Amino acid sequence: MIDRLKVRVKAGLTNAQEVLYSDELYLVAINECEEIVKNKAIALAFKLDIAYYRFLMLVDVVPNERDEKNYSLAIKQLSGAVSVDGSSKKVNLVVGSRSSEW
């Protein structure tokens, strides 16, 4: 995920100096994202939106309107996501048969 976040930062920030951040900053942003997401099942794209927004906050860059919308949408997806805790549930399934009425 760190490589994808680096690509996103490089594409999103226009100043050439700003793409030379250390891996530690990227890892902090990813860890903050994981804390926010916890064990919710959401798409990687939404996780990247959250991590990118957290990265912008870490480096004191003001996010633009698009970044804020992406972050808000990711948080909305997170609130409706299902928790995945790794445990499996047993389900009993009854299968019936149909007979012809003719």
- pLDDT tens-digit readout, 33-76: 999 888 888 888 889 999 999 998 988 888 889 999 999 999 88
State how far the Cα of 28 lies from the Cα of 58, in Å rounded to an integer. Answer: 9
State how far the Cα of 76 lies from the Cα of 5, in Å rounded to an integer. Answer: 21
DSSP secondary structure string, 13-31? ---GGGG---HHHHHHHHH
Q: Nearest CA to 55 among 43, 40, 70?
A: 70
pTM attached to this predicted model = 0.74
Encode burial over 28-38: b for 16+ CB neighbours within 10 A, e otherwise: ebbebbeebbe
| pLDDT at residue 87 greater than cutoff 80 | no
